[in-house]
Structure 1
Amino acid sequence: MKNLTMKTSDSVNINYIIEGSGKPLLLVPGWSCSLHFFDKNISELSKKFKVIAVDLRGHGESDKPDHGYRIARFAMDIKELLDYLDVKDVTIAGWSMGASILWSYLELFGNHRVSKHISIDQSPAQYFAPDWKWGQLGCYDVESYLRLCASLQYEERANAEGTVYGCLHKEPTKEEVEFLSNEIMKCPARVKIDIMRDHTNLDWRDFIPHISVPTLVCVAKQSQVFPWQGSAWVGENIPNAKIEYFENCGHMLFWDDPEKFNKVVSEFVLS
């Protein structure tokens, strides 16, 4: 897996990898996570597709600048990467915050270079509200966000390990916890705080019904991050979307059950 680099319009080096050939499939990871969270998927999916996986700015091996930690800027980085690679008819797949980034992409740039869309276990609204009861179980209002900030400042490693355990339904090995936590620790606490400040305040319920590309929504029935109903709402409100339930999986459903995830994604991209 060879690391490649693209420089954005605001001079930030974005790390990405390309494996395989065929129809392009872009994988966008979630908050604080690197492209290596898809390590159980990239090699298998690359047997059929040109898999592009990216480290968001501030994450993984990408630059950690002092600016640009907003969902909209991440969406622009994705656009600039697809333009740089000059790929067309791309299936864009975003997990967790990565799904929100792709919703922002579709809102800002329409279906530019995109033919299909995969949303992986993300609620359209993070905060609980009188009209929304399926928010993020760990960061669901301003007070819980402030507690998260304190945890990141004073217990960053414990927070990273807690994120790993919280994202998985199946008990991870010590090696898995260490590997995934190390990847999370590549994202500085200040970056995690800045992007969560933006991400957690956004509500996509007005836009989601206007998504017009064929869509697959993957829902983790055992997620400890979102009530599954919130992720399912996305599929229920995108016209003609297909919903796939992962019954015995946590938030990282592609790690808990990579065989099913790889199969479902392959069938959707080829359909």
Structure 2
Amino acid sequence: MSLARVGQTGWVPYATALDGVRIGYQLSGEGQPLILLAGQSNNHTWWDPVRADFSSAYQTITLDWRGTGISDKPDEVYTTPGFAEDVVAVLDELGLPTAHVYGTSMGGRVAQWIAINHPDRVSKLILGCTSPGPAHGYERSSEIRRALADPVQGGRVLVDLMYTPQWVAANPPPYPVLGDRDMPPYAKGLHLVASNKHEAWDRLPDIIAPTLILHGSEDIFSPVANTKVLAERIPDSRVEIIQGARHAYFHECRAVASPLVLSFLGSS
């Protein structure tokens, strides 16, 4: 295990990517490895509310994307295929030939590239609230993009896209899916460009891992219509729509979503 000194947090485990960038990662639980991939401009804390659902049966692995958390933050071009290579570097560091891969939002875009470019490394694939890219997928509206860019109301809009008002009323903040607050502004921009330029349409039929596609029925941040597009392109795939859920379906509707994932992973 490689260790690095990071600020006042002490020694932390990291993997070294192909270009020398250090990628911090976290382990919890025992069993078959399950790597959990967070959304754009977020670090591993994205998974904090639900990680225990999986680490009771699997060795869960999270990581901080380059540009976030304890990972290095180079000011250079980021891409979803490049993020996928960072994930493979973590698997290599841990000596894991294969793992289940569960990616949500931008993490689902990255997960597609892991399964495409490293088919031998992925046992089963779960794609949550994600899309194949803008050329053939369904993107959020220009109105939503403008609202998110508004420095006054953008934070409130993001909460509304993630969770239903009823759930927010019963569950006060902080919410772990609203971005890494310590992320440098330049890195946020690099993440946005990487996610926006994702385009895996032509290669999706190359995915050979059994695939579960999850989405909230009320998700307009990454429209639910993307499930049909992904399922039509990925050969061995099936779709589960979680009724009433928005983008953070895995958190608000964990009582439904986590059992669906565990059942899929446990099936033959």
Distance verdict in 2 for CA 1:28–1:94, change over 3 Å: same
Shift of 1:173: 5.5
Shift of 1:50: 0.6
- Say whether 1:134 aligns with 2:138: yes
Q: Which moved more, 1:235-244 or 1:166-175?
A: 166-175
Secondary structure of the equivalent of 2:263? helix
Shift of 1:231: 2.7
Secondary structure of the equivalent of 1:261? helix
Shift of 1:194: 1.8
State the distance in 2 between where 1:161 and 1:61 align.
Answer: 27
Question: 1:47 corresponds to which residue?
Answer: 56
Q: Which one-letter code corresponds to 1:228 in the other structure?
A: V
Shift of 1:54: 1.3
CA deviation map 1:156-199 (0-9, x unaligned): x8544532332223542697543437753222221121232232
State the distance in 2 between where 1:4 and 1:133 align.
Answer: 36
Shift of 1:55: 1.2
Distance verdict in 2 for CA 1:254–1:246, change over 3 Å: same
Shift of 1:76: 1.0
Q: 1:80 aligns with which of 89, 114, 117?
A: 89
TM-score, normalization by structure 2: 0.84
Kept in 2: contact 1:160–1:184 (CA 8 A) = no
Shift of 1:88: 3.2
Distance verdict in 2 for CA 1:164–1:58, change over 3 Å: farther
Mapping of 1:13-24 within 5 angstroms? Answer: 13-24=22-33
Q: 1:178 aligns with which of 174, 179, 204?
A: 174
Q: Which one-letter code corresponds to 2:158 in the other structure?
A: T
Question: 2:185 corresponds to which residue?
Answer: 189
Shift of 1:257: 0.7
Gaps of 5+ in 2: 1-10
Gaps of 5+ in 1: none
Q: How many residues align?
A: 256
TM-score, normalization by structure 1: 0.83
Kept in 2: contact 1:29–1:98 (CA 8 A) = yes
Kept in 1: contact 2:134–2:199 (CA 8 A) = yes
Counting aligned pairs with the same residue, the percent is 24
State the distance in 1 between where 2:76 and 2:245 align.
Answer: 35
Kept in 1: contact 2:147–2:157 (CA 8 A) = no
State the distance in 2 between where 1:63 and 1:133 align.
Answer: 31
Higher helix share: 1
Q: 1:67 aligns with which of 58, 73, 76?
A: 76
